[in-house]
């Protein structure tokens, strides 16, 4: 387990070298961050993974990440709240939510839409939320979805 | 309708019926009286007129008869045989006369100028020899024609043979010598004929109209009784004589009738004609009187008396009719009264029945209203139950969502590691361990979800048995001690009073599950210090309420006050490794045993307000629990 923890955090301080494939991953489940990190790294992504959303936020810097991959349901701060905080700092980073809920899928979209509307009124542009990833997902499929989102 | 009102109406109706009956009776009576009087008047009128007609007719007939006899006598007096005293021829002439009027006259007689008998008709030789030459010159029927030279009609005369007779005599006058003096001549004899009163009476009787029930009386001008129907015993008596008057007095009960009769007789003796109604023997009789005039002289007075039989019969009938009418009216009135009474009492009975029915209906209505109320209450309860069911349903859905969410996380881990293990064979052992860990988590979750489902569908069954609580605790403590040892923790696990045997009746497996869950939680949240598990008996006044108290006290992080109120609900207190269902299941199991479970944060010991861990406690009855299943 300690090995995996190292693996998980091996690129934590290695920033700014490639803007196009660095991903921030936030999920309260250790096994999930472990599995997703390894799956993404095997496909050439650099991953910063956090199990605590507050920790993730405090370590967040604008312009480093091309995409944030956030679990929706987390203790202390849910995925959407984290996303909103990130958005305040970085207006360009792309976002994908991970959820194990079937029913929350629609709720996330709606919440996102409302948020986008208010931001649009403030003069900030944001794209529609297209990227919601349902747990459990095959790692190859996950990579495919991330690449699609990055290329969109 | 009120009772008194009904009574009043009833009386009014009864009174009306009675009044109508009375009015009808009175009217009917009056009408019958009127009718009867009319009928009596008509009948009496008929009797009166018939009586008068009879009197008139019969007196006329009698007049004619007497005049005829007179005429016969005159022809006899004028016959040459009598004039010439031709005895032999005169016999034949006289006998011829007698033969021609034998139904009326008794005999004819020829007297010589001295009043001695020349001849008597239809007489044999020996009788003739006896009467021949008998002197009858003292009889008025010789004296008066001799003096007056005219026909003479006598009243009653007692003859020598004691037979009462009327006599008519005619003078035989030789007018040859005195032709200057018309009517007068030399008396040479007198022809006489006699009529027996009996014969006269029979003759008169025969003249009566047969269907006309009447009697005949005949008087002479002096009031001498010549004939009365039925009896001859009064013949020759004067009407005012003692004998007849005493008979009258016995027949005429009222002096009025007597006076009326006296007036009538006096009037008739004056030669007047008339009629009167006189009650005799309590029956009205009409007596009509008519003089019998012969040769212009009132000779006799004829009386016809007729009872108003029809009238009295009619009156009797009418009275009968009246009685019948009264009876009928009474009977009808009575029947009407009885019918009215029956109708009223029936109405009253009906009213009573209706009242009773109304009462019953009211009771039924009331009970219906009560039922309705109960129904409304039931509906309310049903609505409440429905609402609870909806809430329950929503909770169930939520539970399924969360449960499915919880199951997807270890599934994702297992799927992910399974894929990565091929690419990273150097990390094979760690990944296998991770897969195993997630698989067991999935297994726990599945097991807990099944338990929750059993609890929530009420199908949690307890397999009751008697066992030592401390033995169970001891086993659990041993298991966790091993686990703690493996994880390099220095937390102490203390089983207090473990030597005492506490026998309880309950589901051993389920209670093991509860204690294990509580100890497991304590271990999970305690990084240093100790965990103390204690079981003790709590005595109660009622022996069957004696119970065992089990407490698990730790020195861990304590319970977040925010989640404390919802501590025993699903998915509230969720640790990294836990399912979030353990406390809910534990609570349900304890409650199914009839016990209670609660949790408290331990009072602060270090003085700066920091919690010194938490204590979970539950109690359970020693004897068999009454409630096997709850929720």
Chain B hits for A30, Cβ within 8 Å: 576
Query: Chain centroid to CA B128: how far?
Result: 99
CA distance linking residue B163 with residue B236, whole number of Å: 11
Stretch among A102-111, A130-139, B102-111, B506-515 having the lowest mean pLDDT: A102-111
Question: Looking at residue B111, what is its pLDDT?
Answer: 87
> A interface mutation test: which of B394, B411, B412 has the most A CBs within 10 A?
B412
| B255-269 helix and B242-251 helix, angle to the nearest 10 degrees | 140
Per-residue pLDDT of B480-528, as tens digits, reads 999 888 888 888 999 998 888 999 999 999 999 999 999 999 998 888 8
Which whole-number Å values give the CA distances from B2 to B65, B351, B358, in the listed order?
Answer: 92, 10, 15
Tell me if A100 and B404 make a contact (CB, 8 A cut-off): yes
Per-residue pLDDT of B380-416, as tens digits, reads 888 888 888 888 788 778 888 888 888 888 899 999 9
> A interface mutation test: which of B405, B414, B418, B422 has the most A CBs within 10 A?
B405
The upper half-sphere exposure of residue B199, i.e. CA atoms within 13 Å in the direction of its Cβ, equals 17
Per-residue pLDDT of B107-146, as tens digits, reads 888 888 888 888 888 777 777 777 788 888 888 888 888 8
Tell me if A103 and B419 make a contact (CB, 8 A cut-off): no
Is residue B221 scored above 70 in pLDDT?
Answer: yes
B412 at the A interface (CB within 8 A)? yes
Per-residue pLDDT of B308-358, as tens digits, reads 776 677 777 777 877 887 787 778 778 877 887 888 888 888 889 999 989
β-pair partners for B276: B287
Chain A hits for B577, Cβ within 8 Å: none
In this complex, the residue of B405, B416, B424 whose CB is nearest that of residue A101 is: B405
Q: Which residues of B149-185 are buried (b: 16+ CB within 10 A; e: fewer)?
A: eebbbbbbbeeeeeebbbbbbbbbbeeeeeeeeeeeb
- Residue A1: which pLDDT band, with cuts at 50, 70 and 90? very low
- Residue B177: which pLDDT band, with cuts at 50, 70 and 90? low
Please give the domain boundaries of chain A with CATH numbers for all domains: 2-151 (3.40.50.2300)
Is residue B631 scored above 60 in pLDDT?
Answer: no
* Average pLDDT of chain B, as a whole number: 83
Question: Looking at residue B23, what is its pLDDT?
Answer: 83
Per-residue pLDDT of B474-492, as tens digits, reads 999 999 999 888 888 888 9
For residue B617, give how far its alpha carbon lies from the nearest alpha carbon of chain A (Å): 28
CA proximity to B233, closest of B192, B271, B197: B197
Select the more confidently predicted residue: A115 or B512.
Answer: B512
Cα-based angle A69, A75, A80 (whole degrees, multiple of 5): 45
Question: Looking at residue A118, what is its pLDDT?
Answer: 61
The percentage of chain B sitting over the pLDDT mark of 90, rounded to a whole number, equals 13
For residue A149, give how far its alpha carbon lies from the nearest alpha carbon of chain B (Å): 21
A150 at the B interface (CB within 8 A)? no
Question: Looking at residue B33, what is its pLDDT?
Answer: 77
Question: Looking at residue B471, what is its pLDDT?
Answer: 93
Is residue A40 scored above 90 in pLDDT?
Answer: yes
Question: Looking at residue B6, what is its pLDDT?
Answer: 61
For residue B400, what is the nearest residue in chain A, using CA coordinates? A101
- Residue B7: which pLDDT band, with cuts at 50, 70 and 90? low
Neighbour tally for A64: CB within 10 Å: 16
CA distance linking residue B221 with residue B452, whole number of Å: 156
- Residue A3: which pLDDT band, with cuts at 50, 70 and 90? very low
Question: Looking at residue A143, what is its pLDDT?
Answer: 92
- Residue B572: which pLDDT band, with cuts at 50, 70 and 90? confident
Report which DSSP code applies to B231: B
The upper half-sphere exposure of residue B568, i.e. CA atoms within 13 Å in the direction of its Cβ, equals 17
CA distance linking residue B506 with residue B628, whole number of Å: 9
Question: Looking at residue A14, what is its pLDDT?
Answer: 44
Question: Looking at residue B625, what is its pLDDT?
Answer: 45
For residue B405, give how far its alpha carbon lies from the nearest alpha carbon of chain A (Å): 5
Tell me if A100 and B430 make a contact (CB, 8 A cut-off): no
Question: Looking at residue B1, what is its pLDDT?
Answer: 44
Per-residue pLDDT of B35-72, as tens digits, reads 777 877 888 888 888 888 888 888 888 888 888 888 88
A4 at the B interface (CB within 8 A)? yes
Tell me if B416 and A101 make a contact (CB, 8 A cut-off): no
Tell me if B420 and A1 make a contact (CB, 8 A cut-off): no
Please report which helix (H) or strand (E) contains residue B141, including its range.
helix B140-148
Cα-based angle B347, B351, B352 (whole degrees, multiple of 5): 120
Average pLDDT value for residue range B77-90: 81
B420 at the A interface (CB within 8 A)? yes
Tell me if B430 and A3 make a contact (CB, 8 A cut-off): yes
CA distance linking residue B73 with residue B344, whole number of Å: 93
User: Number of A:B CB contacts under 8 A?
Assistant: 72
Backbone angles phi, psi at B233, to 5 degrees: -70, -20
Is residue A119 scored above 80 in pLDDT?
Answer: no
Q: Is B58:B216 a contact under the CB 8 Å cutoff?
A: yes
A39 at the B interface (CB within 8 A)? yes
- In the sheet where B614-621 sits, what is the strand order? B492-496, B530-538, B547-554, B614-621, B597-601
A34 at the B interface (CB within 8 A)? yes
In terms of Cβ atoms closer than 10 Å to its own Cβ (0-12, 13-18, 19+), residue B220 is: buried
Tell me if A35 and B409 make a contact (CB, 8 A cut-off): no
Question: Looking at residue A5, what is its pLDDT?
Answer: 46
CA distance linking residue A114 with residue A105, whole number of Å: 15
Which whole-number Å values give the CA distances from A51 to A34, A54, B160, B182, in the listed order?
Answer: 10, 9, 192, 200
Question: Looking at residue A34, what is its pLDDT?
Answer: 92
A69 at the B interface (CB within 8 A)? no
Per-residue pLDDT of B238-268, as tens digits, reads 888 888 888 777 777 777 888 888 888 888 8
Q: Which residues contact B175 (CB under 8 A, 6 or more apart)?
A: B184, B185
Average pLDDT value for residue range B1-29: 71
Neighbour tally for B315: CB within 10 Å: 17
- Residue A6: which pLDDT band, with cuts at 50, 70 and 90? very low
Question: Looking at residue B611, what is its pLDDT?
Answer: 60
Which whole-number Å values give the CA distances from B520 to B309, B476, B480, B513, in the listed order?
Answer: 143, 9, 7, 10
- Residue B617: which pLDDT band, with cuts at 50, 70 and 90? very high
Polymer length of chain A? 152
Chain A hits for B563, Cβ within 8 Å: none
CA distance linking residue A52 with residue A74, whole number of Å: 8
Which whole-number Å values give the CA distances from B22 to B8, B328, B334, B503, B557, in the listed order?
Answer: 21, 12, 11, 106, 116
The SS3 of residue B162 is coil
Is residue B543 scored above 80 in pLDDT?
Answer: no
Which whole-number Å values give the CA distances from A55 to A1, A85, B58, B575, in the listed order?
Answer: 21, 12, 171, 19
Chain B hits for A35, Cβ within 8 Å: 412-413, 415-417, 420
Question: Looking at residue A16, what is its pLDDT?
Answer: 44
Select the more confidently predicted residue: B41 or B592.
Answer: B592
Average pLDDT value for residue range B74-86: 83
Question: Looking at residue A70, what is its pLDDT?
Answer: 92
**Please, what's the largest Cα pairwise distance for chain B?**
224
Question: Looking at residue B83, what is its pLDDT?
Answer: 81
CA proximity to B103, closest of B167, B193, B195: B195
Backbone angles phi, psi at B176, to 5 degrees: -65, -40
Chain B hits for A36, Cβ within 8 Å: 416
Chain A hits for B420, Cβ within 8 Å: 35, 38-39, 42, 139
In this complex, the residue of A3, A31, A101 whose CB is nearest that of residue B413 is: A31
Average pLDDT value for residue range A72-86: 85
What does the block give as tokens for B120? 């008597």
The percentage of chain B sitting over the pLDDT mark of 70, rounded to a whole number, equals 93
Question: Looking at residue B630, what is its pLDDT?
Answer: 40
In this complex, the residue of B401, B420, B437 whose CB is nearest that of residue A35 is: B420
What does the block give as tokens for B3? 């009772």
Tell me if A31 and B411 make a contact (CB, 8 A cut-off): no
Chain B hits for A140, Cβ within 8 Å: 419
Which whole-number Å values give the CA distances from B593 to B126, B362, B415, B620, B624, in the listed order?
Answer: 172, 50, 41, 7, 9
B413 at the A interface (CB within 8 A)? yes
Backbone angles phi, psi at B542, to 5 degrees: -85, 125
Per-residue pLDDT of B150-167, as tens digits, reads 888 887 777 777 788 888
> How many distinct helices (H) and strands (E) make up chain A?
6, 5
For residue A4, what is the nearest residue in chain B, using CA coordinates? B430
Question: Looking at residue A67, what is its pLDDT?
Answer: 92
In this complex, the residue of B420, B427, B434 whose CB is nearest that of residue A39 is: B420
Please give the domain boundaries of chain B with CATH numbers for all domains: 66-200 (3.30.450.20), 211-310 (3.30.450.20), 461-621 (3.30.565.10)
Backbone angles phi, psi at B165, to 5 degrees: -140, 160
Question: Looking at residue A11, what is its pLDDT?
Answer: 46
Is residue A10 scored above 60 in pLDDT?
Answer: no
B423 at the A interface (CB within 8 A)? yes
Polymer length of chain B? 631
Query: Chain centroid to CA A70: how far?
Result: 4
Stretch among A5-19, A120-134, B73-87, B284-298 having the lowest mean pLDDT: A5-19
The upper half-sphere exposure of residue B257, i.e. CA atoms within 13 Å in the direction of its Cβ, equals 19
In this complex, the residue of B417, B430, B433 whose CB is nearest that of residue A35 is: B417
Per-residue pLDDT of B545-562, as tens digits, reads 788 999 999 998 888 888
Question: Looking at residue A108, what is its pLDDT?
Answer: 67
For residue A58, give how far its alpha carbon lies from the nearest alpha carbon of chain B (Å): 23
Question: Looking at residue A132, what is its pLDDT?
Answer: 86
Tell me if A136 and B434 make a contact (CB, 8 A cut-off): no
Chain A hits for B417, Cβ within 8 Å: 31, 35
ipTM of the complex model = 0.81
Report which DSSP code applies to B569: S
In this complex, the residue of B401, B430, B437 whose CB is nearest that of residue A103 is: B401
Chain B hits for A31, Cβ within 8 Å: 409-410, 412-413, 416-417, 434, 437-438
- Residue A125: which pLDDT band, with cuts at 50, 70 and 90? very low
Backbone angles phi, psi at B428, to 5 degrees: -55, -50
């Amino acid at each position: 387990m300690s090995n995996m923890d190292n693996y998980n955090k091996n690129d934590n301080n290695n920033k700014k070298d490639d803007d196009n494939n660095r991903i921030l991953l936030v999920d309260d489940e250790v096994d999930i961050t472990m599995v997703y990190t390894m799956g993404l790294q095997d496909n050439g992504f650099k991953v910063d993974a956090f199990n605590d959303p507050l920790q993730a936020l405090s370590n967040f810097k604008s312009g480093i990440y091309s995409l944030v991959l956030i679990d929706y349901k987390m203790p202390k701060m849910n995925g959407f709240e984290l996303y909103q905080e990130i958005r305040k700092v970085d207006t360009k980073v792309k976002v994908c939510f991970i959820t194990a809920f079937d029913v929350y899928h629609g709720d996330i979209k709606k919440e996102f839409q409302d948020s986008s509307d208010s931001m649009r009124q403030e003069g900030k542009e944001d794209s529609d939320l297209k990227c919601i990833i349902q747990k459990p997902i095959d790692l190859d499929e996950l990579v495919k979805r991330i690449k699609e989102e990055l290329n969109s | 309708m009120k009772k008194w009102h009904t009574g009043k109406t009833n009386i009014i109706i009864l009174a009306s019926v009675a009044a109508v009956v009375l009015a009808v009776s009175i009217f009917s009576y009056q009408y019958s009286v009127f009718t009867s009087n009319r009928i009596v008047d008509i009948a009496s009128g008929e009797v009166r007129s018939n009586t008068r007609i009879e009197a008139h007719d019969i007196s006329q007939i009698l007049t004619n008869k007497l005049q005829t006899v007179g005429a016969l006598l005159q022809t006899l007096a004028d016959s040459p045989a009598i004039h010439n005293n031709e005895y032999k021829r005169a016999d034949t002439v006289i006998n011829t006369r007698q033969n021609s009027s034998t139904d009326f006259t008794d005999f004819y007689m020829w007297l010589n100028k001295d009043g001695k008998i020349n001849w008597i008709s239809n007489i044999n030789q020996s009788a003739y020899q006896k009467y021949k030459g008998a002197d009858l010159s003292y009889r008025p029927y010789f004296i008066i024609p001799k003096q007056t030279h005219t026909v003479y009609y006598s009243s009653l005369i007692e003859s020598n043979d004691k037979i009462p007779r009327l006599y008519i005599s005619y003078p035989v006058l030789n007018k040859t010598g005195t032709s200057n003096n018309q009517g007068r001549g030399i008396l040479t004899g007198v022809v006489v004929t006699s009529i027996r009163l009996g014969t006269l009476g029979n003759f008169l009787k025969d003249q009566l109209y047969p269907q006309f029930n009447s009697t005949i009386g005949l008087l002479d001008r002096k009031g001498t009784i010549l004939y009365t129907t039925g009896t001859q015993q009064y013949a020759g008596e004067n009407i005012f004589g003692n004998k007849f008057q005493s008979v009258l007095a016995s027949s005429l009960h009222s002096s009025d009738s007597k006076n009326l009769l006296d007036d009538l007789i006096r009037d008739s003796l004056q030669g007047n004609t008339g009629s009167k109604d006189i009650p005799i023997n309590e029956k009205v009789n009409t007596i009509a009187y008519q003089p019998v005039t012969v040769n212009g002289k009132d000779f006799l007075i004829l009386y016809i008396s007729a009872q108003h039989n029809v009238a009295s019969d009619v009156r009797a009938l009418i009275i009968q009719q009246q009685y019948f009418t009264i009876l009928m009216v009474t009977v009808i009135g009575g029947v009407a009264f009885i019918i009215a009474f029956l109708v009223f009492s029936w109405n009253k009975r009906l009213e009573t029945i209706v009242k009773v029915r109304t009462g019953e209906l009211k009771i039924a209505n009331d009970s219906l209203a009560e039922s309705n109320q109960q129904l409304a209450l039931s509906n309310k309860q049903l609505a409440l139950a429905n609402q609870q069911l909806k809430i329950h349903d929503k909770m169930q859905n939520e539970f399924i969502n969360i449960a499915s969410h919880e199951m997807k996380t270890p599934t994702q881990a297992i799927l992910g590691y399974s894929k990565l293990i091929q690419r990273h064979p150097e990390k094979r052992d760690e990944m296998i361990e991770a897969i195993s860990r997630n698989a067991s988590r999935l297994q726990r979750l599945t097991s807990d979800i099944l338990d929750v489902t059993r609890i929530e569908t009420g199908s949690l069954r307890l397999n009751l048995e008697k066992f030592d609580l401390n033995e169970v605790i001891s086993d659990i403590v041993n298991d966790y001690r091993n686990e703690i040892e493996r994880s390099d923790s220095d937390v102490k696990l203390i089983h207090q009073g473990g030597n005492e045997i506490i026998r309880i009746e309950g589901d051993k497996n389920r209670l093991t599950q509860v204690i294990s869950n509580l100890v497991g939680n304590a271990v999970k949240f305690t990084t240093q210090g100790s965990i103390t598990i204690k079981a003790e008996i709590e005595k109660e006044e009622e022996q069957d309420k004696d119970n065992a108290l089990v407490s698990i006290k730790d020195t861990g992080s304590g319970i977040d006050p925010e989640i404390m109120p919802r501590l025993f609900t699903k998915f509230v207190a969720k640790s990294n490794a836990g399912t979030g269902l353990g406390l809910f299941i534990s609570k349900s199991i304890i409650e199914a045993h009839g016990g209670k479970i609660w949790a408290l944060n331990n009072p602060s010991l270090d003085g700066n307000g920091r919690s010194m861990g938490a204590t979970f406690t539950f109690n359970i009855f020693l004897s068999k629990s009454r409630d096997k299943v709850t929720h």
